[in-house]
A = this chain, B = another copy of it.
Amino acid sequence: MREYATQMEAARKGIVTEELKKAAQKERMSTEELLPLAAQGKVVICANRNHACIDPEGVGSMLRTKINVNIGVSRDCKDYDVEMEKVMEAVNLGAHAIMDLSSHGDTIPFRRKLISECPAMIGTVPVYDSVIHYQKDLADLTAQDFIDVVRLHAEDGVDFVTLHCGITRKTIDQIRKHKRKMNLVSRGGSLVFAWMCMTGEENPFYEYFDDILEICREYDVTISLGDACRPGCLADGSDVCQIEELVRLGELTKRAWEKDVQVMVEGPGHMPMDQIAANMKIQQSICMGAPFYVLGPIVTDIAPGYDHITSAIGGAIAAQNGAAFLCYVTPAEHLALPNVEDVKQGIIASKIAAHAADIAKGVRGAREIDDKMAEARRTLDWEAQWECAIDPAAAKKIREDRKPEHDDTCSMCGKFCAVRSMNKALSGEYIDIL
């Protein structure tokens, strides 16, 4: 019998868990530094008691920024083998979390396989699965059905669950009255909203929040408080619907912490660049430092096919200003279910954003690899450059496609290479250019 229910309770009792020890090591922190942050809820260590193979990571604004990769089948793309291939690719590329967003077929075997094989944190959105699990249409589900699926996922070993607890029946009026350009774009949020509209009942994830806390406490499932009202276009950014939900998420964070349940808070979405820093600061204040998990933010609405780039811009700014966890966005966002190549492109773009932010906020050791790359460039040591590169194979391929005449240069500048000229100039050599 362990002496604590959750990582938060352990930290509060001063118990250094194995998971906390491993998470601290990865951050080059002592357990004495990390423990109070876990106790205060500023760092979460998502590690369900039933996820045996987990390689634990801390998530918090003062740690390395973590990235999440969404996978899962849909009615139109239902090949579980392809999804498992994406998972393996994601883990190899350094993803810290995998969210299984499957919305078709029998979801149990894949989820269990994922949890038994994948060392990254596993997240789900149980409300999707409710429809699938019971094979009942949305209006026919009961509040208890929703709660039971949360328990099922907890038993299966899911490390964090997105629950849209922050909207209520009042939100229906607010959305009608406020006339947002994009209403709700949260898939789970829209299901809860639609269910409330059809049944006339209150949001079960709000109404039965205490029951949910019991389940999450029992298995140490971290609640990722979903932002149903996250802006789905620039025009809706930072509007009253979004901010009022955030206030409610702050209240729910407090209630969860009272039961030692770990919490992350989800955030935008689509947002003009100039609003991002303010949004991060407000969340940190309203939610008392609970880790902010952002979905983007996407900084322009007009780039379908390139939303890995629009979200790399927004994600980097968000992480620099306090977001702890970035949900990747792929080039297929807004268009189709991502394929394996889209997944890769999405992960690389998120990693760039996370790493750039870590450097900017001075995360321990973050810039070391950049300094190594600079050394390798100054000495024109191409092998050493590949070793520092975020995607060595891709970089190598570009250089080798267009091989230069002179091995110490590249085909961009040839003997006009600034590095070559400077090395010769500073060592007093004659500089031949022609």
CB-CB under 8 A from A369, the residues of chain B are 302
Within 8 Å CB of A169, what residues of B? Answer: none
Which residues of chain B are within 8 angstroms of A274 by Cβ–Cβ distance?
320, 360-361
The answer to whether B352 and A398 have CB atoms under 8 Å apart is no
Quote the shortest CB–CB distance from A124 to chain B (angstroms): 14
Pairwise interchain contact B232-A356, C-beta atoms closer than 8 A:
no
In the complex, which of the residues B137, B352, B355, B373 contacts A433, with contact meaning CB atoms closer than 8 Å?
A: B137
Contact B190 A399 (CB under 8 A): no
| A310 CA to B351 CA, complexed, in Å | 11
| Chain B residues, Cβ within 8 Å of A395 | 304-305, 335
Does chain B have a CB within 8 A of A348? yes
Chain B residue contacts of A417, Cβ below 8 A: 187
Q: Cβ of A405 < 8 Å from any Cβ of B?
A: yes
A184 adjacent to B411 (CB under 8 Å): no
Q: Do A405 and B76 touch (CB < 8 A)?
A: yes
Whether the pair B431, A194 counts as a contact (CB closer than 8 A) is yes
Give, as a whole number of angstroms, the nearest-CB distance from A322 to chain B.
13
A394 on the B face (CB < 8 A): yes
Determine whether A165 belongs to the interface, using a CB cutoff of 8 Å to chain B.
no
- Copies of this chain, whole number: 2
* Contact of A183 with B by CB under 8 A: yes
B contact residues around A378 at 8 Å (CB) = 181-183
Given known pairs A274-B320, A302-B390, A373-B301, the reply for A414 and B336 (CB within 8 Å) is no
- Tell me the minimal C-beta distance from A320 to chain B in angstroms: 6
Inter-chain contact B421/A313, CB cutoff 8 Å: no
Question: What B residues does A137 contact at CB under 8 A?
Answer: 432-434
Residue of B nearest to A353 (CB): B313
Inter-chain contact A332/B398, CB cutoff 8 Å: yes
A97 CB, nearest partner CB in chain B, Å: 19
A299 and chain B: residue at smallest CB distance: B356
Contacts of A381 in B (CB 8 A): none
The answer to whether residues A355 and B305 also contact, given A138-B431, A182-B374, A399-B335 and a CB cut-off of 8 A, is no
A55 at the interface (CB under 8 A from B): no
Contact A181 B304 (CB under 8 A): no
Query: Contact string, A77-93, partner B, CB cutoff 8 A, digits 1/0?
Result: 10000000000000000
Residues of B within 8 A of A193 (CB): 421-422, 425
Expressed in whole angstroms, the Cα–Cα distance for A424 and B371 within the complex equals 54
Cβ-based interface call for A40 (8 A): no
A103 sits at the interface (CB 8 A): yes
Q: Per-position contact with B for A190-216: 1 when CB-CB < 8 Å, else 0?
A: 110110011000000000000000000
Is B306 in contact with A411, judged by CB distance below 8 angstroms? no
Minimal Cβ-Cβ distance residue in B for A193: B425
Q: Which one of B104, B304, B308 contacts A385 once the chains associate, using CB atoms below 8 Å? A: B304
Bound: A413/B77 CA distance, A: 10
As a 0/1 sequence over residues 370 to 390 of chain A, the CB contacts with chain B under 8 angstroms (1 = contact) are 110111011000000100111
Q: Does A2 contact B (CB under 8 A)?
A: no
A167 within 8 A of B: no
When A313-B353, A395-B335 are in contact, do A402 and B76 touch as well, CB less than 8 Å? yes
Could you write out 13 A-B pairs with CB less than 8 Å apart?
Answer: A75-B405, A182-B419, A186-B418, A190-B418, A190-B425, A191-B421, A194-B421, A197-B431, A235-B371, A303-B348, A334-B412, A336-B401, A342-B398
Listed in ascending order, the chain A residues whose CB lies under 8 Å from chain B are 74-77, 103-104, 128, 131, 135-139, 175-176, 181-187, 189-191, 193-194, 197-198, 232-236, 272-274, 299-306, 308-310, 312-313, 316-317, 320, 331-339, 342, 348-349, 352-353, 355-357, 359-361, 367, 369-371, 373-375, 377-378, 385, 388-391, 394-395, 397-399, 401-405, 410-419, 421-426, 428, 430-434
